Structure 1
Amino acid sequence: MAENRRQRMLALLATDRAARATSSVGLACARCVLELSIAGAGATVLAHLGKGNGDRHPSRGLVYATNEISAGLEDLQLTVGEGPCLDTFALGGPVLIADLAAEGGRWPAFTPAARALGAAAVFSFPLHIGVVRLGSLDLYRDTPGPLTRTELTDALILTDVAAQGVVEDLDGHATADVSWLSDPHVEVHQAAGMVQAQLDVSTDVALMRLRGYAFTHDVPLAEVARQVVSRSLRFTEDKDAE
């Protein structure tokens, strides 16, 4: 059955590719929305900023999102530092949450904000080639409910397609290098470097300060980063930035 599903999906993607001039990642995300009874899909590349005591915080670059809510969910996870995308990347396996309201204790910062954006269920799948983890394919529904067995099969097939698409887009870049992505998250890590120098702290602490400021002031993390890089916002030893 799985092989038949794969052949069907590849045929549909070939038709999509002939009709739309977009990346394989974008085609896979769009086909997820059509096939899986979901409201939106997004794909990200993740890379580790550093190592230390087993605590490694991934950097992220948005590759594709089918709508603003999908993009918002990806940005939210970077802002609060938790969520299904980060868990699936760390675990190397799918994270399937059919009812986000029942998972408040798992992601206390992510869950209420994600529900406010309109997500009622989230499903995250690791993008990987062999043992190399590249990122995640993230899906959401605006009503609770699990993926059916057929939908799960199709999601895994489309995840493979998206992973191959990420490899095509990398085009010689190292998997830890997200500078090739035209995404504001690259600026986040430039800002983290500046905050690190301002406060004389580690990169991890600098990122936490940026995330905390964004969350507390209800400002997108990318906007906080732009303010730091433009030097209109500076972090001090005091609790708040100035």
Structure 2
Amino acid sequence: MVESRRQRMQALLAADRAARPASSVILACERCVVELSVSGAGATVLSRLANGAAPPSRGLVHATDAVSAGLEDLQLTVGEGPCLDAFESGGPVLIADLAAESARWPAFTRSACELGAAAVFSFPLQIGVVRLGSLDLYRDAAGPLTRLELADALILSDLAAQGVVADLDGHSAEDGSWLADPHEEVHQATGMVQVQLGSSTETALMRLRGYAFAHDLQLVEVARQVVGRSLRFTDAEDGNNAQ
């Protein structure tokens, strides 16, 4: 049965590609919305430094709607959520009722619910033992995936992972330079805050995240203020606007 469903998904993606040429990752995300009764889908590539000390660096490959894009950005801002857990564990993270997960992800859950997510499902994008990122789905109403929807989600995440490998085009899995990183300003701002505080990269990113969360801003907006020099961090508990 699994093989027949896989063949069906491959045929659907081939038909989608014939109708509108696009990356396999994009087509897999859009097919998730059609086949799995979810409200939106997104795919993110993640990579971890060799020492494993810092959080994974990330780049959004595709999001089917604004909520999916917002959920991906939120997880970068607060440093927690199903995408990161799926990447770390190598297994799916299936949350049928997100509102009940406030203890697991205290920062992510509240804001994700406000964005409109009531259920979230994340699947690692993985080839063999190499993890490349995650395929992330959400519903605007609570409820689990059915057995067949889960089977199809696993197939689509596998096909999306193959698409990521094709898009790598000669780059290693740890090299995200091939991907247009929408959070480039975050990396630049992290370096600037690191210099301002004389701290580690991890501490600088933590301060950026903390400021974003405390002021109900996206991390990229705080980074933009730092890069634009309208926000400067000192040894005080919070950042201070530079004059």
Q: TM-score, normalised by structure 1?
A: 0.95
Percent identical among aligned pairs is: 75
> Residue 145 of structure 1 aligns with which residue?
143
Per mean C-alpha deviation after superposition, the further-off stretch among 165-174 and 72-81 is 165-174
> Do the aligned partners of residues 86 and 142 (structure 1) sit closer, same or farther apart at CA in structure 2, a change above 3 Å counting?
same
- Partner secondary structure for residue 233 of structure 2: coil
RMSD value, Cα: 1.3
> Residue 51 of structure 1 aligns with which residue?
51
> Residue 97 of structure 1 aligns with which residue?
95
Counterparts of 1:27-38 in structure 2 under 5 Å? 27-38=27-38
Equivalent residues, number: 240
Counterparts of 1:39-188 in structure 2 under 5 Å? 39-49=39-49, 51=51, 55-188=53-186
> Residue 189 of structure 1 aligns with which residue?
187
Matching residue's letter, 1:192: T
The CA distance in 1 between the partners of 2:162 and 2:47, in whole Å, is 17
Per mean C-alpha deviation after superposition, the further-off stretch among 56-65 and 165-174 is 165-174
Matching residue's letter, 2:56: P
> Residue 22 of structure 2 aligns with which residue?
22
- Is this contact kept in 1: 2:58–2:181, CA < 8 A? no
- Partner secondary structure for residue 209 of structure 1: helix
The CA distance in 1 between the partners of 2:178 and 2:234, in whole Å, is 31
Unaligned runs of 5+ in 1: none
The alpha carbon displacement at 1:196 in A equals 1.1
The alpha carbon displacement at 1:47 in A equals 1.3
The alpha carbon displacement at 1:49 in A equals 4.4
Deviations 1:202-225 (A, max 9, x none): 111111111111111111111111
Q: TM-score, normalised by structure 2?
A: 0.95
> Residue 8 of structure 2 aligns with which residue?
8
Unaligned runs of 5+ in 2: none
